[in-house]
Structure 1
Amino acid sequence: MMNINLSQSIGLFSIAGLGLAACSQPAAEKPKTKPNIVYIMSDDHAYQAISAYGHGLNKTPNIDRIAEQGAIFTRGFVSNSICAPSRAVMLTGKHSFVNGKVDNVQPFDWNQMSFPKLLQQNGYQTALIGKIHLDGLPQGFDYSAVLPGQGHYYNPDFIINGEKKRLDGYVTDLTTEMSLKWLKERDPEKPFCLLYHQKAPHREWLPAERHYKEYTGMTFKEPETLFDDYKGRGTAAKEQEMNVLKDMNWAGDSKIRPEVMDELGIPQTLTWDKAAYTNNLGRMDEQQRAAWDAVYDPIVEDFARKYPSMNEKELMQWRFQRYMQDYLGCIASVDEGVGQLLDFLEENGLAENTIVVYTSDQGFYLGEHGWFDKRFMYEESFRTPLLMMYPPEIEPGTVVDELVQNIDFAPTFLDYAGVDIPQDVQGESFRRLVSGESSVWRDAIYYTYYEYPSIHMVKRHYGVRTDRYKLIHFYYDIDEWELYDLENDPQEMTNVYDDPAYADVKQMMHERLTELREKYGDSDANDQRFLKAYLDVVNN
């Protein structure tokens, strides 16, 4: 492992030869100049934490610029709310049970076709910089600089074109700097596709110094359902391990020093609780650690004084504020990076012919139902932020309300690039939808989740969502169905599956679920096959 300067980390890149992909869906008429593509993906960035969505939790002025100058999607969803599978879906345009990456355990086959490969074969120069969370050397990119696994916030390792190197600095800033450097050194005569992927705001949340100094002094509004008791839900909601008070790590997440935990008699939440704190802060240099301790030590000392007399409600409220301070502090750096990139495009005359997308690998709970993390088909984790700009076709201030899903990214980018969309891609191009050229679109989307039993203990399930209703089947160690009327119950507090008033809706939703499982090629046999593969790995 080497310590190097950023200027040494990016080498020359080569461009693959031209080729053509198999076609089944007609692409749009090819533009005279192929558009550039900048796909920005953060990790675990809840739509509630983007100010353009109007929740008032924080401010993201630069991400908001994309919505102001382009479009905001109010119903952007994922097909499997967990990190690595979501990225595999994005690359391939196929559901997890088709591309094979159903959970964070199964391997991802880089040899299969992906939209970056097709763009590369058709004259695009391509780069992947930041987090991908898929093992193996990325394929389809002339240049790659990716974090191993989850990566680290401070002084992170990057695998740069296959070589592991340690860089000094803060991961969000480094990812932005490398992305801008690649853009500056690209071949200006060729179109480009840059996948600019931030680690933040993934757990455990360590903001940059400039932001933790600000955000640790802030107080945030509690969600209405912070103290949810799950009376209206089934076993899965009651048995999860995602509660902010009960299931967050005290050291790794809330930043309580391990020795203070011992003094107060606070046990580790998970076996790696204290290790997460030690390992994450252990990557800091002396100056970084001193700055951190100067801010966080007083917080811990104040907590230690109050802890003996705090009740459960007060502890939940304290932990929620600590969570929001660090989580939103991490997002502040992401927003700054988006601003730098947008400024670069404008200053270099690239903004007019560049598609810019901002999204996350899935949604995230910010205290709703008392939770953090994702995984469930419930709205906060199922839904993801999606904002997009492309001046030639997208009017500023556009709002898209249709059910768009992450299987749609690959065909959409291929469509814009004038590249034929392979027959086995399961998503659809939303190019004409966002431009306003067509309003014809799907009326239902399909979801799967497989990683159980595992951390957070969210049970295996699949389901269908329409504009108004959602039907979920939890299986494996239970067999329970949940039905929600999202118009009358947007927070999904009451399962109406057995309510006689919804008998016709239940029948209709079962029919839609069967249609989508047949359309996409999913089945109970798939569920059992992936269950066996998962258990084989975790048990051995």
Structure 2
Amino acid sequence: MRNKNHYLIAALLVLGIYSCSQKEETQADKRPNILFIMSDDHAYQAISAYDDKLLQTPNIDRIADEGMLFTNACVSNSICAPSRATILTGKHTHINGKIDNLMPFDTSQVTFPQIFQQEGYQTAMFGKLHFGNNPKGVDEFMILPGQGYYLNPDFNTPRGDTTIMGYVTDIITDLTLNWLKDERDPRKPFMMMYMHKAPHRPWWPNPEKFAEFTQKQFPEPETLFDDYSNRGTAAKDAEMNLLTHMMYSHDSKVRPEVLERMGEKASPKVEEFENGFYGPYGRATAEQKAKYDLVLDGINADFEENWPSMTEEEKMRWKYQRYMQDYLACISSVDDNVGRVLDYLEESGLAENTIVVYTSDQGFYLGEHGWFDKRFIYNESFKTPLLVKWPNVIKPGTTEDEMVQNLDFAQTLLAAAGITALDDMQGESLMPLLTGAREQWTRDAVYYHYYEYPSVHMVKRHYGIVTKEFKLAHFYYDIDEWELYDRAKDPLEMNNVYDDPAYADKVQELKLQLDDLRAQYKDSPELDQKYIQIYKDMQVKKDNDFW
């Protein structure tokens, strides 16, 4: 796998791309360091570089101010573990095996950290991986098992399991900074994956942010009360409505005993996770609980007093505010901690030769269409934040609107380090966009495929093609429906124009293009049926094991 890296590095030195800093960065190998920052379920709408209506994120914004902001970055399958598998392998989920959160990852797949490790990079991973407890190609890791906990979290490490007291976002940052300061080899370039649990459900802020954000009110999205008219079956059948599916205890922090005391007054009925409240809260120490109780008592008193007399519209608004208060408070902590790491890179001199990437495993609904969660090909779920800075290479303050995907991250980072990607990787290097050679970028459409149905949130299986102008999706399995959205005329995606005669030619054109993409990425109707049958077999086994 070795290539002629020394020729590339020599050329870049001549061009002045690499700095000869006399500060801490004295490693002999002058290939760029890479800091890959990923949060979980971080909506692009909740980054002020994209939209400042909800929240200010000055530290994450620094990456865009000093680098590039991608406005059409998206995912190939909007759900956590599959997205992460795609990022690690540079392959669609139907190739790497991780089509949903249930199906196993094909462990024979090579991940890009393995390649970096083989090519002489020092590698590390701290935070949330979300599948597997022994990441390949990583010299040092401390990762949360499964979803992990917000409070006093457990970690898997090469030396065994451990629990660290405190708030998870702060702890992941402490681990990252400790490695950067005290454990890495300064003679080698590093590839660090700094991966936050936040702001994944159930959105537990630290006590200080909890107190601060429950005093805030946030603007409602235009489509909060969407009735899904002019859309197909899939939008109507999805189970992620704020009012009817967001849980009182697990999500809105209403104590179970308050719900029990209120009885029918707490309608509409919402199915709760077992230990949905006391699972997270129960991990807190007495001192931590005392801080949380100051806020929880107020939330619960307000709910018990006012909820029974509210209209359905008022209840929807109450749940939306509770959701935003907790979700955005979690992100505020992420932003603070990203700032800590960026500050250290600057202070140490490492920033001059470090590529910094900020992204998420997918987008998220913040009340748009009345929803929370993700999964759909619709914008809020499909689009993901992507901000990249690379001193002396990326022009600061650049905005890029080309269609790029998480499928591209592995090839891009390898190319930036002068390492040849594997032939079977399916993405495209973003180097032409990062370096200002946009004329070399040829992609005009991306492919999407979501599989996890029937399952939680009941978003139907679908695949589709997305260009800057249009989005065509086919929903299948228990239905056979097509949807087309004119992204320019209908940015909120409220009107399916698939059956509009004015778009008939566009439908045929996109269907042919979609067929080409499916063939290019080795997806097919036969593969769809294969995964449907595997899924059914897994469900039967699960039911038999249960009984």
State the AA in 2 paired with 1:283: R
CA contact (8 A) 2:133 2:156 kept: no
The structural deviation recorded for 1:137 is 1.1
CA contact (8 A) 1:21 1:422 kept: no
The structural deviation recorded for 1:262 is 1.1
State the AA in 1 paired with 2:478: D
State the AA in 2 paired with 1:529: K
Taking a change above 3 Å as real, the CA distance of residues 147 and 21 of structure 1, as seen in their structure-2 partners, is farther
Does residue 1:428 correspond to 2:428, yes or no?
yes
The structural deviation recorded for 1:381 is 0.1
State which drifts further: 364-373 or 256-265.
Answer: 256-265
Tell me how large the CA RMSD over aligned residues is: 1.7
Matches within 5 A, 1:89-108: 89-108=86-105
CA–CA distance in 2 between the matches of 1:295 and 1:318? Answer: 16
CA contact (8 A) 1:242 1:456 kept: yes
Normalising by structure 2, we get a TM-score of 0.93
State the AA in 2 paired with 1:20: R
2:489 maps to which residue? Answer: 488
In structure 2, which of residues 259, 283, 292 is the aligned counterpart of residue 261 of structure 1? 259
Superposed CA offset, 1:105-145 (max 9, x none) = 01113332111100100010001110011124111100111
State the AA in 2 paired with 1:524: P
Query: Identity of aligned pairs, percent?
Result: 56
CA contact (8 A) 2:242 2:370 kept: yes
Does residue 1:314 correspond to 2:322, yes or no?
no
CA–CA distance in 1 between the matches of 2:178 and 2:156? Answer: 16
Taking a change above 3 Å as real, the CA distance of residues 296 and 22 of structure 1, as seen in their structure-2 partners, is farther
Superposed CA offset, 1:13-43 (max 9, x none) = xxxxxx53899xx999974520000000000
CA–CA distance in 1 between the matches of 2:363 and 2:283? Answer: 28
The structural deviation recorded for 1:430 is 0.4
State the AA in 1 paired with 2:469: R
CA–CA distance in 2 between the matches of 1:255 and 1:29? Answer: 57
State the AA in 2 paired with 1:112: Q
CA contact (8 A) 2:90 2:427 kept: yes
CA–CA distance in 2 between the matches of 1:241 and 1:22? Answer: 52
Taking a change above 3 Å as real, the CA distance of residues 168 and 269 of structure 1, as seen in their structure-2 partners, is farther
Normalising by structure 1, we get a TM-score of 0.94
State the AA in 2 paired with 1:405: Q
The structural deviation recorded for 1:268 is 9.1
CA–CA distance in 1 between the matches of 2:159 and 2:109? Answer: 19
Superposed CA offset, 1:384-419 (max 9, x none) = 000000012001101111001001000001101111
2:199 maps to which residue? Answer: 201
Name the SS for the 2:125 alignment partner: strand
Does residue 1:278 correspond to 2:278, yes or no?
yes
Taking a change above 3 Å as real, the CA distance of residues 257 and 47 of structure 1, as seen in their structure-2 partners, is same
Matches within 5 A, 1:221-300: 221-265=219-263, 266=266, 271-300=271-300
Taking a change above 3 Å as real, the CA distance of residues 20 and 270 of structure 1, as seen in their structure-2 partners, is farther
CA–CA distance in 2 between the matches of 1:404 and 1:128? Answer: 24
CA–CA distance in 2 between the matches of 1:322 and 1:21? Answer: 53
Name the SS for the 1:462 alignment partner: strand
Does residue 1:132 correspond to 2:133, yes or no?
no
CA–CA distance in 1 between the matches of 2:269 and 2:519? Answer: 42
1:501 maps to which residue? Answer: 502
CA contact (8 A) 1:260 1:304 kept: yes
CA–CA distance in 1 between the matches of 2:8 and 2:443? Answer: 18
CA–CA distance in 2 between the matches of 1:483 and 1:514? Answer: 16
CA contact (8 A) 2:125 2:192 kept: yes
1:214 maps to which residue? Answer: 212
Name the SS for the 2:359 alignment partner: strand
State which drifts further: 525-534 or 506-515.
Answer: 525-534
The structural deviation recorded for 1:319 is 0.2
Does residue 1:20 correspond to 2:2, yes or no?
yes
CA–CA distance in 1 between the matches of 2:53 and 2:317? Answer: 19
2:21 maps to which residue? Answer: none
Matches within 5 A, 1:49-198: 49-161=46-158, 163-184=160-181, 185-198=183-196
Does residue 1:450 correspond to 2:432, yes or no?
no
> What are the ranges of 5 or more consecutive residues in structure 2 without an aligned counterpart?
14-29, 543-547
* Corresponding pairs, count: 520
Taking a change above 3 Å as real, the CA distance of residues 135 and 30 of structure 1, as seen in their structure-2 partners, is farther
CA–CA distance in 1 between the matches of 2:133 and 2:126? Answer: 15
CA contact (8 A) 1:89 1:406 kept: yes
CA–CA distance in 2 between the matches of 1:529 and 1:277? Answer: 38
State the AA in 2 paired with 1:244: L
The structural deviation recorded for 1:538 is 2.7
CA contact (8 A) 1:453 1:459 kept: yes
CA–CA distance in 2 between the matches of 1:156 and 1:248? Answer: 24
Taking a change above 3 Å as real, the CA distance of residues 345 and 356 of structure 1, as seen in their structure-2 partners, is same
Taking a change above 3 Å as real, the CA distance of residues 457 and 20 of structure 1, as seen in their structure-2 partners, is same
Taking a change above 3 Å as real, the CA distance of residues 21 and 103 of structure 1, as seen in their structure-2 partners, is farther
Name the SS for the 2:438 alignment partner: coil
Taking a change above 3 Å as real, the CA distance of residues 321 and 420 of structure 1, as seen in their structure-2 partners, is same
State the AA in 1 paired with 2:516: E
Does residue 1:35 correspond to 2:51, yes or no?
no
The structural deviation recorded for 1:209 is 1.2
1:10 maps to which residue? Answer: none
CA–CA distance in 2 between the matches of 1:30 and 1:467? Answer: 36
CA–CA distance in 2 between the matches of 1:341 and 1:205? Answer: 22
Taking a change above 3 Å as real, the CA distance of residues 28 and 501 of structure 1, as seen in their structure-2 partners, is farther
CA–CA distance in 1 between the matches of 2:10 and 2:435? Answer: 14
